[in-house]
Amino acid sequence: MLLFALVVLGVCLIPAHSKPAGEQLGSPLLQTCFEEAKKMVDDAYKYSREESLRRVRKEVVRPHDTLRLLKQPRGETRSAVRSADYMAQTSAC
């Protein structure tokens, strides 16, 4: 498991300019795992954000709904957390 995570991390850290344009990194299996993990994580983040906004736009807003929205990460923190989620989801592939 640790070896797989290190391989995934190594593939992710390869600079984009080291390969000609249009060429994919890693094997087709790894590429598929990356794409599936990214889609799952992005869909989960989108659902969570939309649900939080829907809850605070109701006529009666409960305090925990507002707190849920305020606790979502922003900016660079969001990118770091999302990247960690990509890695975790990819290792589950």
Q: What is the pLDDT of residues 55-91, one digit of tens each?
A: 989 888 899 888 988 888 888 998 999 999 999 998 8
DSSP notation for 30-77 = HHHHHHHHHHHHHHHHHHHHHHHHHHHTSSS--HHHHHHHHTS--HHH
Decide: helix, strand or coil at residue 50: helix
Q: What is the pLDDT of residue 43?
A: 95
Closest of 79, 71, 29, 75 to residue 52, by C-alpha: 71
Q: How far is residue 50's CA from residue 68's CA, in Å, rounded to a whole number?
A: 12
* pTM across the whole model: 0.63
In the chain, domain spans: 2-8+27-91
Poorest-confidence range of 10-14, 42-46, 78-82? 10-14
Q: What is the pLDDT of residue 20?
A: 52
